[in-house]
Amino acid sequence: MGSLRQEMIRLLQERGMSARELSQALSIRERDVYDHMRHIEKSVKISGAKLSVIPSRCLKCGFEFKKRKRISAPSRCPICKGEHISDPVFGLSIKKCAKSSLKT
pLDDT score at 72: 85
Nearest alpha-carbon partner for 91 in 36, 39, 53, 42:
53
pLDDT score at 91: 92
- In this structure, are residues 79 and 63 in contact, taking their beta carbons and an 8 Å threshold? yes
Q: What is the pTM of this model?
A: 0.78
| Helix 19-26 and helix 30-46, axial crossing angle in degrees, nearest 10 | 100
pLDDT score at 104: 47
Quote the CA–CA distance of 99 and 35 in Å, as a whole number.
Answer: 24
Instruction: Show the low-confidence residues of the chain (pLDDT under 70).
Output: 1-2, 95-104
CATH of 4-99, one of 1.10.10, 1.10.3470, 1.20.1110, 3.90.550: 1.10.10
